[in-house]
Copies of this chain bind each other. A is one copy, B any other.
């Protein structure tokens, strides 16, 4: 299955996305799910490409279609008036950018490409129709939405009640977990395209402090990071740290 240029219609083709390996639960990649493939059989689909570091949408932007990440990582974030930034979630291949976009065409946070990125946009109207036709789809979407909410709540408790080391350990473990579900872990190592400033903005710390904690993790033999790849060397210990202070 190959990617098409911007806006090229592929009516009749069950829309799939060749970039992502096997998916093991219905939280991911819903639009290529058997049910959706049926519901969206004759819909127009357009694919998009963005280079690393490109801003895709800013808070308040109108998004005509419902985007799904196919390849690469992106970050959804909120920016304060003085420039401070909080990354609210990392978007991985197979992720709907936001479940809310199925119903409302306006993004409430900014989205930036972390790596080179490919995403696919689906027409909102047909999605909604499919949704009201098949209650099963509604269950899936509500599941995705609940999952987003659970992740946001988890982030809030991490930021509010955990120390630096725990937040960072927690982030690493959560990403590993999500990647594993997508079959994107090789043993205990994963592609890790995040810069320290991404991590800092995600866990609410400064870049310098993140660097220190990460160095500490490396010294303690918890993780190894080189060349945009991270391996979890001592998962039990990392998990212990994530649960503690």
Which A residues contact B (CB, under 8 angstroms)?
A: 78, 80-82, 84-86, 88, 98-100, 102-104, 108-109, 128, 131-132, 135, 138-139, 142-143, 145-146, 148-150, 152-157, 159-162, 203-204, 243-244
> Within the complex, what minimum Cβ distance (angstroms) separates A126 from chain B?
14
Q: Is the CB of A85 within 8 A of B139?
A: no
Nearest CB of B to A226, in Å: 28
Using Cβ atoms and an 8 Å threshold, which residues of chain B touch A152?
A: 149, 152-153, 156
Q: Are A109 and B159 in contact (CB under 8 A)?
A: no
CB-based nearest B residue for A245: B82
Q: Beyond A132-B135, A160-B204, is A88–B153 a contact (Cβ under 8 Å)?
A: yes
How far is B88's CA from A128's CA once the two chains are assembled, in angstroms?
Answer: 30
For residue A150, which residue of chain B has the nearest CB? B108
Chain B residues lying within 8 Å of A100, measured Cβ to Cβ, are 142, 145-146, 149
- Please pick, from B84, B98, B131, B162, the residue contacting A161 in the complex, using a CB distance under 8 A: B84
A88 lies within 8 A of B157 (CB): yes
- Cα A102 to Cα B135 in complex, Å, equals 13
Q: How far is the CA of A6 from the CA of B155 in the complex (A)?
A: 36
Which residues of the partner chain B approach A109 to less than 8 Å between Cβ atoms? 153
List of B residues within 8 angstroms of A81 by Cβ: 243
User: Which residue, of A109, A153, A203, A244, has the highest number of chain B Cβ atoms within 10 A?
Assistant: A153
Q: Which of A81, A98, A157, A204 has the most CB of B within 10 A?
A: A157
Q: What residue of chain B has the Cβ atom nearest to residue A132's Cβ?
A: B135
CB distance from A146 to the nearest CB of B (A): 4
A98 to B154, CA, bound (A): 15
Question: Which one, B78, B84, B244, contacts A153 given CB within 8 A?
Answer: B78
User: Known: A153-B152, A156-B159. Is A142-B84 also a contact (CB below 8 A)?
Assistant: no
A102 to B108, CA, bound (A): 23
A203 to chain B: which residues have CB within 8 Å? 160
From the candidates B80, B128, B148, B157, name the one contacting A149 in the complex (CB within 8 A): B148
